[in-house]
Chains A and B, each alone.
Chain A
């Protein structure tokens, strides 16, 4: 189910998750939150309530795959990793994002 590209909010979350998984390798939901939070220097706060539905939707679309593993603390956690299809989607979203920011920047600068 391709998501409409003008759905900004969701698109951003997808982009963030995919990018994180691509660079960091398999991560669980909590780890994703922490990572985005840390890397964006607290600028981006992932809404925890919308993270899990988003993850499951992305899994349905086969952009990410999941696996149950045991963490160092001995807890069972669901680890997500990016798939080939997810990488393609990431490229698309990245492109969209770049275009959007370029457009917004230009509008801010020249108008």
Chain B
């Protein structure tokens, strides 16, 4: 009877009872009829009929039992029996539950992250209607890029909004950071500039007060700020009278007008907004009081649209494509030269699904997460193989018992069920522990990739997907490790099993082969994981040891912002000099220099150059730039190869000079000493290209990231900056601890003006954090690789030990007949070697095949790295051989007489 019928029976008990009653009633009635026909009185007839049917209620009970109770009871009995079996061998139970908990926990943890950043939809109204408007790949546009949202100009947003018909709303936002303090050490809030329709288009309502509306985004721009729930809790202690209270954002005061509900974090997964103000406020916060709204080259907005009913993402995308030429023509920056303008007008827009939000985090971590998921999946598989092996061994011990059960008439299915009940108990306990472990692990992983500079906020919830995933894992693992041994050990004729109890000298081969196959699989899979971890460790090592061109240890970055201090624009270069002098004078500071932006900070600036008098425009020779003060290269530990550093004679009135790096010289000056040569720099249409005299050549340095190849870089003196800004970044090479330097630097700056803000960060920390992803992969895959190797070794040990135990008599006979110990050890090791060789061979093939998946995450190492492959194979072979040498020794040390006598 199929299980569902049984279940139905449980719920249909009443009806079943009735049916039985009716059936038995009928039988009684017919019997009574016959008895009456035979001449018995009606009263006696019924009594007699009942007597012949036997005990009426027992009859009813036992018939009904067939359907429900017996089945439920046997399930209970199976579980109780399983529990008792597990209690009897606590060692096995502990190992099984722990390895399952680790495997399931790791898988669930990674899945929670995947779920959070990839699968969960935004907490807004109808998220499936949202699309992101973006540029097609290889679009060409130059200009000023600010904020991680930089995609469109304000004018473009306006144009798109006017022309499009696919969306009921087009909303825009730009991420930023607002300093909440006035001077001193800054405290930042994650900010959002949003279009007036932002909240309404998303369907997010205020929990307190109101959200912004289209009318708030106007020229006067005096509406105020909407704050997030966590920010409200943090900054205002959840005070309900917060409305109207003032916030200082970059020195500009705005009232709070509303609080969004706890679930709303913005539209970027991995980031959380604190304060949202209308786009128009950009002007008020901008230093030049104009802001980015009128700029045709200011890329700062991200756009999302809500599809009108009946529109699909595909249609909307095609619609955007059709509109593109018109939008490009209407928003073409006037500064573009003809060829740049032509390329710009050929740009196309598209629309992609955005129900799950947009995320830089996703781009950066989606692939690593899937890889880690594959890794943990393999570990779980290896753990399952191990458990299957252990269970097979246990089943062998129980063979006589099973044989008796089968002989006494138990069906095979019944015995299998008993085995599976035991495995299911293990799987359930393992999954419960694993789920608890996952909560800790996923948070630890997040903490690993979250830094002070780049805070990552991901809501980790255990929703139905996660719970379903864990439950599915539990069932799957149970079937994987439980069913095979169960089927295997019941697949024997009772007679044969009873017989094998008796005296046979050699172990049967056939039933043992499954365990060998399992061990080979384990070895193969753990080799794949070990190779993977070696690859990631080597990649990280490569990044850590490759010369970045600067010495990051002992360098302190100091960021100073004096935009709120009462200094005139003309004074700025003098303030730079003043700050440099004051910072240099601090005890413990070895040298000080100012820099446009520090390397690997994410900032960058590139442009076309024209070497040796050639025009830069349309030269297609691209270089990256930075500004530096005298002493910068000395402070950073970058080698000066030829010429000189900048000095105090390089001023606005002197010749424009530049220092270039080796790559620049190699690419554009044929590798010759470039000192004395010149180059032009591209500028906007209608302006004269400036000419720079090269005065120095420095070693290559990394620009955006340690992972990149060296780029051609040119440095200009800070003192020749015609438009200096109200902020300055310094690098200080210090001796000793940074604590006292930081304290004195704060005092020095506060003495100049209390409204100057200052912040510090060790440069080495910035470098370290830029390698987070690599560190994560190396650490996690390394840990799992070794865990896998350990599990595989345990599996191999188990099989060899088991084999030795089975062949004890045979070995005894061999030794009695004159085989020496070395021979016995060799005999056992040969077996281990065979399994190892097959496993390694399969593993090498698998590694070569799967290495490609990691290719994009590796630096300085090829995915088919022979060294990693060899190292992993040797390591695995070594520990596996040691593991099998132990039982081999034991077999050889055995007294042959004792072995033969055990019967």
Judged by a CB distance under 8 angstroms, whether B62 is at the interface is: yes
CB <8 Å contact, A60 and B409? no
- In the complex, which residues 25-73 of chain B have their Cβ closer than 8 Å to any Cβ of chain A? 26-27, 29-31, 33, 52-55, 59, 62-63, 66-67
Complexed CA–CA distance, A20 and B23 (Å)? 19
CB <8 Å contact, A53 and B62? yes
Chain A residue, CB-CB nearest to B62? A53
CB <8 Å contact, A7 and B409? yes
Size range of the interface on A? 20 to 34
Complexed CA–CA distance, A48 and B59 (Å)? 10
CB <8 Å contact, B67 and A60? yes
Secondary structure at the B interface, as helix, strand, loop or mixed, is helix
Residues of A within 8 A of B29 (CB): 75
Secondary structure at the A interface, as helix, strand, loop or mixed, is mixed
Chain A residue, CB-CB nearest to B26? A77
Judged by a CB distance under 8 angstroms, whether B619 is at the interface is: no
Q: Assuming A29-B23, A30-B27, A76-B22, is B66 touching A57 (CB within 8 A)?
A: yes
Chain B residue, CB-CB nearest to A51? B27
Complexed CA–CA distance, A57 and B64 (Å)? 10
CB <8 Å contact, A53 and B66? yes
CB <8 Å contact, B53 and A48? yes
CB <8 Å contact, B67 and A29? no
Judged by a CB distance under 8 angstroms, whether B413 is at the interface is: yes
Q: Assuming A49-B59, A52-B59, A53-B62, is B1 touching A60 (CB within 8 A)?
A: yes
CB <8 Å contact, B52 and A75? no
- In the complex, which residues 1-44 of chain A have their Cβ closer than 8 Å to any Cβ of chain B? 1-2, 4, 6-7, 28-30, 33
Complexed CA–CA distance, A60 and B22 (Å)? 19
Size range of the interface on B? 20 to 34
Interface core residue of A6, A28, A49, A52 (most chain B CB under 10 Å): A52
Residues of B within 8 A of A49 (CB): 53-55, 59
**Total A-B residue contacts, Cβ distance less than 8 Å:** 60
Judged by a CB distance under 8 angstroms, whether A99 is at the interface is: no
Judged by a CB distance under 8 angstroms, whether B19 is at the interface is: yes
Residues of B within 8 A of A53 (CB): 59, 62-63, 66
Chain A positions 78 through 89: 1 when the CB is less than 8 Å from some CB of chain B, otherwise 0: 100000000000
Complexed CA–CA distance, A65 and B233 (Å)? 68
Residues of B within 8 A of A7 (CB): 409
> Which of B52, B63, B411 meets A2, CB within 8 Å?
B411
Judged by a CB distance under 8 angstroms, whether A92 is at the interface is: no
Chain B positions 1 through 27: 1 when the CB is less than 8 Å from some CB of chain A, otherwise 0: 100000000000000000110111011
Complexed CA–CA distance, A52 and B66 (Å)? 11
> Which of B23, B54, B59, B413 meets A78, CB within 8 Å?
B23
CB <8 Å contact, A48 and B1? no
Complexed CA–CA distance, A28 and B23 (Å)? 9
Residues of B within 8 A of A77 (CB): 23, 26
Chain A residue, CB-CB nearest to B5? A60
Complexed CA–CA distance, A33 and B54 (Å)? 14
Residues of B within 8 A of A4 (CB): 409, 411
Q: Closest CB-CB distance, A21 to chain B, in whole Å?
A: 16
CB <8 Å contact, A62 and B63? no
Chain A residue, CB-CB nearest to B24? A52
- In the complex, which residues 44-81 of chain A have their Cβ closer than 8 Å to any Cβ of chain B? 48-49, 52-53, 56-57, 59-62, 68, 73, 75-78
CB <8 Å contact, A52 and B63? yes
Q: Closest CB-CB distance, B15 to chain A, in whole Å?
A: 12
Chain A residue, CB-CB nearest to B413? A1
Chain B residue, CB-CB nearest to A61? B1
Complexed CA–CA distance, A2 and B53 (Å)? 27
Q: Closest CB-CB distance, A91 to chain B, in whole Å?
A: 20
Complexed CA–CA distance, A33 and B22 (Å)? 17
CB <8 Å contact, B26 and A48? no
CB <8 Å contact, A78 and B22? yes
Chain A residue, CB-CB nearest to B410? A4
CB <8 Å contact, A52 and B1? no
Q: Closest CB-CB distance, B113 to chain A, in whole Å?
A: 46
Complexed CA–CA distance, A62 and B2 (Å)? 10
Residues of A within 8 A of B409 (CB): 4, 6-7
Residues of A within 8 A of B62 (CB): 53
Chain A residue, CB-CB nearest to B411? A1
Q: Assuming A30-B31, A75-B29, is B52 touching A48 (CB within 8 A)?
A: yes
- In the complex, which residues 393-413 of chain B have their Cβ closer than 8 Å to any Cβ of chain A? 409, 411, 413
> Which of B19, B26, B33, B54 meets A28, CB within 8 Å?
B26
Residues of A within 8 A of B20 (CB): 52
Q: Assuming A29-B23, A48-B53, A78-B19, is B30 touching A62 (CB within 8 A)?
A: no
Chain A residue, CB-CB nearest to B52? A48
CB <8 Å contact, B26 and A56? no
Residues of A within 8 A of B33 (CB): 73
Complexed CA–CA distance, A2 and B406 (Å)? 12
Chain B residue, CB-CB nearest to A31? B30
Q: Closest CB-CB distance, B751 to chain A, in whole Å?
A: 92
Residues of B within 8 A of A57 (CB): 66
Complexed CA–CA distance, A60 and B23 (Å)? 17
Complexed CA–CA distance, A76 and B22 (Å)? 8
Q: Closest CB-CB distance, B874 to chain A, in whole Å?
A: 53
Residues of B within 8 A of A59 (CB): 1
Residues of B within 8 A of A33 (CB): 27
Q: Assuming A2-B411, A49-B53, A77-B26, is B1 touching A62 (CB within 8 A)?
A: yes
Interface core residue of A1, A28, A33, A49 (most chain B CB under 10 Å): A49
Complexed CA–CA distance, A33 and B33 (Å)? 15
CB <8 Å contact, A56 and B66? yes
Q: Closest CB-CB distance, A1 to chain B, in whole Å?
A: 6
Complexed CA–CA distance, A73 and B32 (Å)? 14
> Which of B23, B27, B66, B67 meets A48, CB within 8 Å?
B27
Residues of A within 8 A of B52 (CB): 48
Complexed CA–CA distance, A29 and B22 (Å)? 12
A and B contact pairs by CB, cutoff 8 A, 14 listed: A1-B413, A1-B414, A2-B411, A29-B27, A48-B27, A48-B53, A53-B59, A53-B66, A56-B63, A59-B1, A60-B67, A76-B22, A77-B23, A78-B22
Q: Which residues of B contact A (CB under 8 A)?
A: 1, 19-20, 22-24, 26-27, 29-31, 33, 52-55, 59, 62-63, 66-67, 409, 411, 413-414
Q: State the 5 A-B residue pairs at the shortest beta-carbon distance, nearest first.
A: A49-B54, A60-B1, A4-B409, A30-B30, A77-B26
Give me 16 other A-B pairs in contact (C-beta within 8 A), A56-B67, A60-B1 excluded. A4-B409, A4-B411, A6-B409, A29-B26, A29-B27, A30-B26, A30-B30, A48-B52, A48-B53, A49-B55, A52-B27, A53-B66, A56-B63, A57-B66, A60-B67, A62-B1
